[in-house]
Structure 1
Amino acid sequence: MKNLKTLAAALMLACGLGSAPLAQAETLRVGLEAAYPPFSAPSAKGGYVGFDIDIANALCKQMQVECEFIAQDWDGIIPALMARKFDAIISSMAVTKERAEQVDFTGHYYRTSMSVAVPRDADFKGLEAENFKGKVVGAQSSSTPGMYAEDVYGKAGAEVRLYPTADEAGSDLVSGRLDALVHDKYPLIEWMRKRSHDCCRLLGDLPGTMDDIAIAVRKGDDALRTRLNEAILAIRADGSYQRISQRYFGLDIY
């Protein structure tokens, strides 16, 4: 019986962070899409930089574990989590009903709305769906902006083109192959500031699109979700979160 108990304990340790208490683990494997500045992007020095990276590192410090970042294409990020390629997704994932059927979410760690960018000289009367009839609208596939573009502008008569990354959609907006780009507000502002020069302008924020952005874990991984929730509250309480948010955005985006 003693040997059986020893074997059982060893197996529990071998299962890793997804099923063992965090106190027994040394590493939290974090899945992210590394093409989403200012939230995540490759660093010239190796590794990744961005708001999501700094928040993840602050959470890991709070939980006394090491963060290991694993890049994953956005379309496959939930399947990769379910296949145990990593333990959690900290990659600006909006909470939706469809995603909540596949994964469990922590409480939010920031909130954001969607916005629309158009060429600077484009003649748009407003954000209403009827103004997009006959227009070509781009967005990232498998994203909430992509879903919005299809559900609202597509049904109003726009041609919707979906791209593997928002950067690819942005390139087509700059080159004139798109009439409009739907994207999350903060990365869209960052993209316009750094990459599109003066080609484009914000048409505005889309009403009713404020989303909770949260960390995804595998269904039933309640121990990890609880520890992450506690860590989010802790970095809010000690000011770590606010310092990170101020550095990137000049305000608290919680």
Structure 2
Amino acid sequence: MKRLIALAAILGTLIFMFACSQQTAEEKAAAPVKEDINVRLELQKASTLEKVVQSGVLRVGLESGYMPFEMTDKKGAVVGFDVDMVTEMAKAMGVKLEIVNTAWDGIIPGLLSNKYDLIASGMTVNQERNLKVNFANPYIIVGQTALISKQFADEITDWKQLNDPKYTITSKLGTTGEQAAKRLFPKATYKSFEMEDQAMLEALNGKAAATVYDLPMTSIFYAQRGKDAGMKFLDKPFTYEPLGWAINKGDPDFLNWLNNFLVQIKNDGRYDRIYNKWFGSDEWYQDIQ
């Protein structure tokens, strides 16, 4: 009986040792797999800045049509203040620039799905957008202004008067102009348009009392078409709207680089040169489609 117990104990010890050796072997075999997974995870966490430098291309998402930030010229090229800014950005990175022209309502989803590396499209920094993306420090400050139709030019002298049921107000779909019109003028009738020039033409043609949109876009439209048509321009902005470059969340390295780039360009003369080119003159307008 004692021999059987001893034999059973020896057998149990051997089985335990065999199981331990098998477990160790399996862990060793699995180790390279775990290491590969960790490497892939680290690569996924790599900063967009690293990816841009490695690929040699900076992809920028924008919607052409917002003067003078991004527009299409008569040759079919996208030009403007934002384009010149990101051109300098690409030069500073030592990479090529690729412009990805996309519809405004899909511009943030495009960034989130990695169709481009950042958005530079006159985008206002606000809390709603900031829930989805991160913004670099503002590169310019604008605000909402109002163009008043000729029919109401004498009647409307202050933007606060627009909050009246007898007025129809227009702006562009999905913009802060639309948000401001709905928030500040809830009593008025609001009409939305796909493009800002369509919204402005509605007021120009007397089909709306006013159009609400960003300065300087309203300033350009007024100078080119509205002034001669008898429109009134309420040119003092009634909202505070900083514009910023948008990037994906969780990328402090890229955010740091963009903020430092902005400080540099604003202090070495490049920013002023680009600003004066697009906001200090309208000579570029003759080359726009």
Which category describes the TM-score, using the shorter chain as reference length?
0.7 to 0.9
Q: Call closer, same or farther: CA 1:236–1:207 in 2, change over 3 Å.
A: closer
The residue correspondences of 1:136-215 to structure 2 (distance < 5 A) are: 136-153=168-185, 156-196=186-226, 198-205=228-235, 208-215=238-245
Contact 1:116 1:204 in 2 (8 A): yes
Paired residue type of 1:151? R
Normalised by the size of structure 1, how large is the TM-score? 0.86
Aligned residues: 249
Q: What displacement does 1:92 show?
A: 0.6
* 2:232 is the alignment partner of 1:229: no
User: Is 1:58 aligned to residue 88 of structure 2?
Assistant: yes
Alpha-carbon shift at residue 201 of structure 1 (Å): 3.2
Letter of the structure 1 residue corresponding to residue 218 of structure 2: L
CA contact (8 A) 1:55 1:244 kept: yes
Deviation, structure 1 residue 129: 4.4
Normalised by the size of structure 2, how large is the TM-score? 0.77
- Residue by residue over 1:130-184, the C-alpha shift from the partner in whole angstroms, topping out at 9 and shown as x without a partner, is 653320000111111110100111xx42000111111111122222221100000
Point out the structure with the larger strand share. 1
Q: What displacement does 1:226 show?
A: 1.7
Aligned-CA RMSD value: 2.8
CA contact under 8 A between 2:171 and 2:212: conserved in structure 1?
Answer: yes
Q: Which residue of 2 aligns with 1:97?
A: 127
Unaligned runs of 5+ in 2: 1-30, 282-289
Q: How far is 1:53 from its partner? A: 0.7
The structure richer in helix per residue is 2
Partner of 1:128: 160
In structure 2, relative to structure 1, the CA distance for the partners of 1:195 and 1:220 (3 Å cut) is farther
Q: Does residue 106 of structure 2 align to residue 76 of structure 1?
A: yes
Shift in Å, 1:198: 1.6
Q: Which runs of 5+ in 1 are unaligned?
A: none
Between the aligned partners of 1:68 and 1:136, the Cα distance in structure 2 is 40
* Aligned residue in 1 for 2:10: none
**In structure 1, distance between residues paired with 2:206 and 2:169:** 11
Letter in 2 for 1:186: P
- Aligned residue type for 1:55: M
